[in-house]
Amino acid sequence: MSRQGAAGTPMCKADVARGGVWHPGGGGQRTGLPPRMARALESYLFHLSLVQGASARTVSAYAADLATLGRSLAARGRRGPARVSSEDLRRHLIELHERGRQPATVARARSAIRSFFAFLQDEGVVAHDPAGELEAPSGWRRIPRALTPEEANALIETIEGRDPLALRDRALLECAYGTGARVSELLGLRPGAVRWEEGLVRLDGKGERSRLVPLGLPAREALRTYITDGRPLLEARRGAEPPEEIFLNARGGALGRMGFWKILRKRATQAGLRGRIHPHLLRHSYATHLLHGGASLRAVQELLGHARLGTTQIYTSVDDAYLHSMHQRYHPRG
């Protein structure tokens, strides 16, 4: 259920705003939310639409449910998600019930709250998930789609040439697939974070959480070539002091999320990949391919920087096609 605009492309924050669901960058002006809660909700709705592929109806319903929650919390002095307790959330659900809301409506609100705070904990916005103790709704999470190893290889190998943008795109996608970094971690990468001799890179997640992950030889070579031969040419286009981030846009400024999205979409089209392509897909593929190759769930949790093992466990729910291929490959009567 991919959420698409008129041109058939996944919708961005501005598209959500045009649908009347949310006002991006407006500090919650249309919903009366405090700025911190407004920013957290904006990021979550973007994730829900683009990464999870939720329908327009689901995004709209969850936005309304969480805006109601945000106003209720603000009235009790909770102006940001970091100060919210399990009791605050429980009280809000009880109030919905007491106002005469239908059980299905309260259940949907509970599902939205659990999804919202699970996302915030994974992103490091909150240290503890206050919604984790609420009764778990069923069906709010879907198994993430992953590229096949062949598709991931085609995506990267399609990028050819020695011009600075080709070198950048190759390094960008090699690092994304080679480290499983979140988009924010990858775009915030600085030269000092790379330990060339050790083959490691430090990824700085939200909430001041950092982790070291291996950087394979193909990613290292692509990144070194870009930094040596490509980045200086992009720096020269800026005509001012270049940003500290490694990955630059065509004008020499720091590459942003939508810039990354456009690069991935362009390269996926060139590689002949079909289906919904988004930046988080490379992170999903990284985790899935590690587990299929025999990596332990605990190791993948550390590599992904997940605060909870339960978040990583979603990757163990492999699809029927994979199970069928493994049966054919390894069973004597397959």
330 is catalytic: no
Give Cβ neighbours of residue 296 (< 8 Å, ≥ 6 apart): none
β-pairing, 200-204 with 194-195? antiparallel
CA 47 to each of CA 10, 102, 295: distance values in angstroms, whole numbers, following the listed order: 11, 27, 27
Cα(228)–Cα(121) distance, rounded to whole angstroms? 37
SS3 at position 52: coil
Single out the catalytic residue among 145, 238, 280, 292: 280
206 is catalytic: yes
Single out the catalytic residue among 30, 265, 276, 306: 306
Single out the catalytic residue among 62, 177, 286, 315: 315
Give Cβ neighbours of residue 211 (< 8 Å, ≥ 6 apart): 202, 203, 205, 302, 303, 305
DSSP 3-state percent helix, strand, coil across the chain (nearest 5): 60, 5, 35
Single out the catalytic residue among 283, 284, 286, 289: 283
226 is catalytic: no
How many CB atoms lie under 10 A from the CB of residue 287? 24
23 is catalytic: no
Single out the catalytic residue among 114, 182, 278, 284: 182
Single out the catalytic residue among 202, 206, 257, 292: 206
Q: Are 209 and 254 in contact (CB under 8 A)?
A: no
Structure-block tokens of residue 25? 């960058």
Token pair 């919905």 in the structure block, residue: 96
Q: In angstroms, what is the C-alpha Rg of the chain?
A: 21
DSSP lists the bridge partners of residue 203 as 211
Structure-block tokens of residue 46? 């973007």
Structure-block tokens of residue 241? 């002091």
C-alpha 329 chain-centroid distance: 33
266 is catalytic: no
Dihedral sign computed on CA atoms, order 19, 24, 28, 34 = positive
End-to-end CA distance of the chain: 34
306 is catalytic: yes
Sheet with strand 210-214: strands edge to edge:
194-195, 200-204, 210-214
For the annotated catalytic residues, the residue numbers are: 182, 206, 280, 283, 306, 315
